[in-house]
Amino acid sequence: MDKNTRICIIGGGPAGLSAGMYLEKKGYNNYTILERQDRVGGKCWSPYYNGKRYEMGAIMGVPSYYAVHDVEEFCGITHDGPKLNRNYKDSQGNVIEPFARTLGNIIKNPWMLKMKGQLKKFGDLLETKYKGYDVNGHRGVAEGRYDGYAVTPGREKVQGENPNLKDLALPFKEFCEKNGVPLVQKIWIGPFTSFGYGYFDEIPAAYVLKYLDYQTCMNFVKVNLWTWEQGTQYIWEQLNAHLKNPARLNSTIEKVERKDGKVYVTVNGIVEEYDKIIVTAPLYIPNKRADGQKGMVEYFDARQDEKELFSKIDYERYDVQAFLTTPENHPEISYYVFDNMVPEKLGHLMVYYRRWKETKDQVITTYALRKHKNSKEIPYDECKKMVLDDLKIMHNPAEKVINEWSVYYFPHVFSEDYANGWYDKVEAMQGKYDTFYAGEVMSFGDMDETAEYSRELVDRFF
Ligand SMILES: Cc1cc2nc3c(=O)[nH]c(=O)nc-3n(C[C@H](O)[C@H](O)[C@H](O)COP(=O)(O)OP(=O)(O)OC[C@H]3O[C@@H](n4cnc5c(N)ncnc54)[C@H](O)[C@@H]3O)c2cc1C
């Protein structure tokens, strides 16, 4: 492609900004990033409280976040945040130890021994039977192929046939049962369901395992995690500051028309002409949202195939509340509540996060899901009340809620559409209308998978 191609990128979150970085690295400088909000970072949102930043969105990374590492190198920053730690409570607020941590406890606990055995078996299966399961993106999976880059520092290109990969379309619960390793769900659930990515009986294994590949999951288990002192938003603010063309904030896109090999974008009332467009903003939102976000099919001259495919996308209703406590009610550490990570406890508090070790004058954040594929969505205010009531049960009642949001979170498709080749159909449309689709739904809803997908997109098409 001509290096002077005029490229419009919609969205100044991790996917859009890293698309800009990778384009620049490849010699494309004629790109424009349009961001609807007055800040960059998207779901990496780190507001200030008393001079310190807390996290309303993304919190952590792992050492295999290679694309995030590219960004850090590009900007000369590093992951310099507080070291994470956590404990566990049951739904009655008692501190518990679900995982026997010492050898003596493991020997006394047959369940733990069985789980360790299944964990080992699972690791082996992923390496052998499911070879290729962890490459970024979903190309070919439904047809039993893998095609992408390995999750290694060198990110080697890997490609091959593996019919077993079709199993990744199954809900993760079924996938584990089919492979005789149901107990591993107890390990994967912590960094999956409580992080808002849905329940194992509804979400295809592909999403679970591409994000939590074995190595990444073990990093969570060992709390070998990255954080950023200035918050995850800082990563993207820094990237934006280092780009030749920083994002244009407060850009309201009213219309996008694609005709005669050109893309016409009406932004804040003015029509701009481009050659190509990369969409990292939501492709489809099935309901009206209070924050005014819309799916691209609503403001683009969407074609029939775009409308049909994107209407299959659903997303999680993931609610975050930020609150203050009195010093005596301040939690001494972050807590996971495993009992509440099942569909029957929809709307309840699953985890609460304490960021700084040394102070009680800080914001604590709570996380809850209020939608499951097979049940009625819990209204926002009802969920909010349930979470505040749960905090009382946990002996850490909130004194004052200072921030809250319900996020358009983890867009995905369900098993049937996954198995029917949804991803291959969308991948076949890349570039068809001078339009490229990136961001969370094309890979997975975390900082690294989205940035990595942008890297690959630039590599493949530009
Ligand atoms: C509570 C929470 C916790 C999380 N924890 C982690 C974590 O610990 N680690 C991790 O890696 N990830 C985490 N994530 C997920 C991570 O933040 C997202 O996956 C990542 O930000 C996705 O990047 P993106 O660019 O695809 O989308 P987004 O971050 O959503 O960015 C999209 C951008 O597009 C803009 N936009 C939308 N519509 C338009 C439009 N019409 N015109 C112009 N701009 C538009 C939005 O304003 C936004 O800035 C978390 C997210 C949340 C909410």
Q: What is the DSSP string of 200-217?
A: TTTSBHHHHHHHS-HHHH
Q: What is the pLDDT of residue 106?
A: 65
Q: What is the pLDDT of residue 337?
A: 97
User: Is the separation of the CB atoms in 195 and 216 below 8 Å?
Assistant: no
Cα dihedral: 211, 212, 214, 219 (round 10): 110
Q: What is the percent of the chain where pLDDT is above 90?
A: 91
Q: Ligand 1 site: residues with CB under 6 angstroms?
A: 10-16, 34-37, 42-44, 57-61, 195, 251, 253, 280-281, 293, 320, 407, 409, 439-440, 445-448, 450
Q: What is the whole-number distance in angstroms between the Cα of residue 14 and the centre of ligand 1?
A: 7
Q: Which atom of ligand 1 is nearest to the CA of 37?
A: 47
The structure tokens listed for 462 are 């530009």
Q: Which atom of ligand 1 is nearest to the CA of 40?
A: 49
Ligand 1 binding pocket mutation candidate from 193, 447, 455 (most atoms within 8 A of CB): 447
Give residue-wise pLDDT tens across range 191-200.
999 999 999 9
DSSP H helical ranges for 374-446 = 380-393, 415-419, 422-429
How far is it, in rounded angstroms, from Cα 233 to Cα 224? 21
Instruction: Name the residue at shortest CA distance from atom 18 of ligand 1.
Output: 446
Q: Which residue has the tokens 């939690």?
A: 331
- Which contiguous run of DSSP H or E holds residue 460? helix 447-461
Q: What is the pLDDT of residue 366?
A: 98
pLDDT confidence tier of residue 322, bands split at 50, 70 and 90: very high
Mean pLDDT to the nearest integer, 82-92: 94
Q: What is the whole-number distance in angstroms between the Cα of residue 55 and the centre of ligand 1?
A: 13
> Mean pLDDT for the chain?
95
Q: Which of 77-81, 183-187, 279-283, 288-292 has the lowest mean pLDDT?
A: 288-292
Contacts of residue 94, defined as CB under 8 A and 6 or more positions apart, other chains included, come to none
Q: Which residue has the tokens 């029957």?
A: 344
Q: What is the whole-number distance in angstroms between the Cα of residue 238 and the centre of ligand 1?
A: 16
Query: Which residues on neighbouring strands pair with residue 26, listed in sequence order?
Result: none
Instruction: Name the residue at shortest CA distance from atom 10 of ligand 1.
Output: 446
Q: What is the whole-number distance in angstroms between the Cα of residue 177 and the centre of ligand 1?
A: 32
Q: Is the pLDDT of residue 104 over 70?
A: no
pLDDT confidence tier of residue 99, bands split at 50, 70 and 90: confident
Mean pLDDT to the nearest integer, 218-242: 96
pLDDT confidence tier of residue 103, bands split at 50, 70 and 90: low
Q: Specify the DSSP class assigned to residue 248.
A: B
Instruction: Name the residue at shortest CA distance from atom 34 of ligand 1.
Output: 11
Q: What is the whole-number distance in angstroms between the Cα of residue 458 and the centre of ligand 1?
A: 19
Mean pLDDT to the nearest integer, 226-248: 98
Q: Is the pLDDT of residue 107 over 90?
A: no
Q: What is the whole-number distance in angstroms between the Cα of residue 43 and the centre of ligand 1?
A: 3
pLDDT confidence tier of residue 50, bands split at 50, 70 and 90: very high
Q: What is the pLDDT of residue 101?
A: 62
Instruction: Name the residue at shortest CA distance from atom 49 of ligand 1.
Output: 42
Q: What is the whole-number distance in angstroms between the Cα of residue 331 and the centre of ligand 1?
A: 28
pLDDT confidence tier of residue 358, bands split at 50, 70 and 90: confident
Instruction: Name the residue at shortest CA distance from atom 4 of ligand 1.
Output: 58
Mean pLDDT to the nearest integer, 382-389: 98
pLDDT confidence tier of residue 224, bands split at 50, 70 and 90: very high
Q: What is the pLDDT of residue 105?
A: 67
Mean pLDDT to the nearest integer, 39-64: 97
pLDDT confidence tier of residue 153, bands split at 50, 70 and 90: confident
Give residue-wise pLDDT tens across range 422-457.
999 999 999 999 999 999 999 999 999 999 999 999
Q: What is the whole-number distance in angstroms between the Cα of residue 345 and the centre of ligand 1?
A: 26
